[in-house]
Amino acid sequence: MKAPIYYRRFDYDKALIPNRYIASMEQGVSTIEQAIAKTGFTVGYPGWNLIYHVLLSHLNPKEYNIIIETGTNYGFSTIILAQALRDSACPGKVFTVELNQQYYEVALSNFKHAGVSDFIDATNEYSFDFLKDFAKANIPIRIAFLDASHLFDDVIREFEIILPLLSPQSIVIFDNTYLIAEEHEDQRVNGALKEILRRHGGNLINFEIVSWYTPGIAIWQKSPFENV
């Protein structure tokens, strides 16, 4: 692996964070190690705000908005998703899945402290089983944040399970898009996104100066002006 890069920031006005509980958890944090202890492996600032404003600008007030997330971890990105849903005043729900039971229980507590539990449906299971349930029920997805396993095959598998549930305007968000792998290693999210474009086309925009360790947040959309 290449040397990690960190674009998660700590030198910012905490009042900028959309949720007060998250802002309180960031107080006094100045290192990655401190951040992991308090908020886990979340994208951090400014990634939280990027995701928040993307949702706030894309949730549809005329529909019930299904938002899914894989890889809840401590639940801080989930809180941002739910906060955007609440602030938008659009109908909808955030559905999130976490395999690690300890992380799942921490996340449930964080949702309560953040005041967004009513907007979240959390599950403790494999992300593939979780997504297959949506596929079987044929539930349309407005926004997906795929952030569980970052291995090439797993990213592709998650994406292709939900692909039939996406409208031309639906968006899929990915974290950790920087090419951190050497040529002989698993190409992870970066390689998976290239393969998604090759197999399925669509449009992809990458925000590279955000997140940490393997930075970068990308957004995929199939055909934004189709049937509009």
Residues 127, 199, 220, 41, CA torsion sign = positive
**Taking the CB of residue 18, how many other CB atoms lie within 10 A of it?**
18
Domains in the chain, ordered, with CATH?
14-25+36-221 (3.40.50.150)
- Kindly report the average pLDDT of the chain as a whole number: 97
Residues 30-57 pLDDT 10s = 999 999 999 999 999 999 999 999 999 9
Q: Is the peptide bond before 46 cis (omega within 30 degrees of 0)?
A: yes
Backbone phi, then psi, for 2, in 5-degree steps? Answer: -75, 165
Residues 192-201 pLDDT 10s = 999 999 999 9
Output the six-digit token pair for 52.
């928040």
Residues 181-192 pLDDT 10s = 999 999 999 999
Please report which confidence band the pLDDT of residue 228 belongs to, taking 50, 70 and 90 as the band edges.
low
**CA 83 vs CA 86, 89, 168: distances in Å:** 5, 10, 25
The per-residue pLDDT for 226 is 84
The per-residue pLDDT for 227 is 76
Backbone phi, then psi, for 96, in 5-degree steps? Answer: -130, 150
Residues 135-177 pLDDT 10s = 999 999 999 999 999 999 999 999 999 999 999 999 999 999 9
Mean pLDDT, to the nearest integer, of 8-30? 97
